[in-house]
Amino acid sequence: MASFKFCKVKQNLIILLSSIFLFSCSSEKISNTSNEIKETFKWRMVTTWPKNYPGVGLGAENLAKLVNEMSDGRLQIKVFGNGELVPALEVFDTVSRGSVEMGHGAAYYWIGKVPAAQFFTAIPFGLNAQEMNAWLHYGGGQELWEELYEPFNLIPMAGGNTGVQMAGWFNKEINSLNDLKGIRMRIPGMAGEVFTRAGGEAVLMPGSEIFTNLQTGVIDAAEWIGPYNDLTFGFHQAAKYYYYPGWHEPGPTLETLVNKEAFNSLPKDLQVILVTASRAVNQDMLDEYTARNNQALISLINDHGIELRKLPDDVLAEFKKITDELLLEMIEKDDASRKIYKSLSEFQKNVSDYHEISEKALYDLR
């Protein structure tokens, strides 16, 4: 009996020691796994926007904050405004080289390098914000965007949308096509080419430079975004006439740019967090502009005495005619533009047919 007890105790001791050993090994594995999961990545993001600028600028800040919270601090992104690390129009190249991991801006700023990029911000008389999001996420647009940026070592994502913009600020009334002649206007992308062919002169400059140039007469007109942002920049102090509709940017998508090698260095869950956060910020920005634009417009009219005007029909018709001509020229000489435009135009036709009996029909009823 004593021998049995001893054997039993010995057996239990062996089991206990084995359990301790196994638990120790398991704990070490858990510890190692925990350490691996807890690896922290510290990234930098350069933007085309003034630091902490409402709407578009805070979109980048909100993205960084959301990623930090969702990853429990494992992916930390420091945001730099226009000019803090690089000038606004050098964001694309800086992220492409891998000098920083991320950027935030608008694709039509890079048309000198990638002409077809403008399809992923806005083209005149094109998709609105709701339609752009649908084309990108469910109509094949995202895949075409990634294909276009592949040679530049970049992964693009939708990173914000302001909704239909205003046509811009002018120092003189526009009553006919003749009134466009000689006007120097800050207006980027294909819309700038349209404006130039219509008799004006398009000028490209960052948003932070618009007010001074408009006030001092370097430019005669400027488009930026809409009432919410335009009131913040004080454009009403530099120009009297505020024109609509935003023919040039009906649904301007902002972009989150990620260096491909940096993205691939992240664990899978952090990659998913980054993509998900960018998509959330994309929608959140549109919500904010939709909520704030009209109140800002009321303030511009009632508090600051600006004159709200609609562009004449003949001007809009000429802009549409020139846009169609430019698109034909683009797709004839650029394979990427032809491929992307085919996808986008077919999607626009399809979604517009339905919107005639849904969105537009409802607006008419209201």
Q: What is the CATH number of the domain that holds 193?
A: 3.40.190.10
| Residues 187, 147 share a domain | no
In a shared domain, residues 153 and 189: no
* Gap between the Cα atoms of 200 and 197, Å rounded: 7
Looking at residue 235, the DSSP 8-state letter turns out to be G
**Confidence at residue 307, expressed as pLDDT on a 0 to 100 scale:** 98
> How does pLDDT run along the chain (366 residues), one tens digit per residue?
434 333 443 444 333 334 434 444 444 444 444 445 579 999 999 999 998 889 999 999 999 999 999 999 999 999 999 999 999 999 999 999 999 999 999 999 999 999 999 999 999 999 999 999 999 999 999 999 999 999 999 999 999 999 999 999 999 999 999 999 999 999 999 999 999 999 999 999 988 899 999 999 999 999 999 999 999 999 999 999 999 999 999 999 999 999 999 999 999 999 999 999 999 999 999 999 999 999 999 999 999 999 999 999 999 999 999 999 999 999 999 999 999 999 999 999 999 999 999 999 999 999
Return the SS3 of 31: helix
Same domain for 286 and 321: no
Q: Residue 310: CA atoms inside 13 Å, Cβ hemisphere, count?
A: 4
Q: What pLDDT is attached to residue 36?
A: 55
Same structural domain, 160 and 189: no
How many folded domains does the chain comprise?
A: 2
* pTM of the complete model: 0.87
Same domain, 139 and 93: yes
The pLDDT of residue 38? 74
Is residue 15 a part of any domain in this protein?
A: no
Q: Could you tell me if residue 299 is inside a domain?
A: no
186 and 329 both lie in a single domain: yes
Query: Does residue 12 form part of some domain?
Result: no
CB atoms within 10 A of CB 38: 10
Domain that holds residue 203: 168-248+304-347
CATH of the domain at 86: 3.40.190.170
* 216 domain-assigned: yes
Q: How far is CA 240 from the centre of its chain?
A: 29
Q: What is the pLDDT of residue 9?
A: 35
- pLDDT of 207 reads 87
Q: Report yes or no on 30 lying in a domain.
A: no
Give dist(CA 263, CA 256) in Å, integer: 12
Say if residue 102 is in the same domain as residue 235.
Answer: no
Tokens of 306: 């600006």
Q: Which string of b and e fits 255-285 if b means at least 16 CB within 10 Å?
A: bbbbbbebbeebeeebbebbeebbbebbebb
* 46 closest CA partner among 109, 139, 132: 109
Six-digit token string for 79: 């945001």
Same domain, 316 and 274: no
Does 4 fall in a domain?
A: no
Residue 365 forms part of a structural domain: no
Q: Please give the C-alpha separations between residue 233 and each of 55, 83, 244, 286, in angstroms, as whole numbers.
A: 12, 17, 18, 19
Q: Does one domain contain both 83 and 189?
A: no
- Rounded CA-CA distance 314/171 in Å is 20
Same domain, 114 and 221: no
d(CA 324, CA 247): 13
Instruction: Examine the domain organization and report whether 137 and 78 are in the same domain.
Output: yes
Same domain membership, residue 258 and residue 230: no
CB atoms within 10 A of CB 326: 17
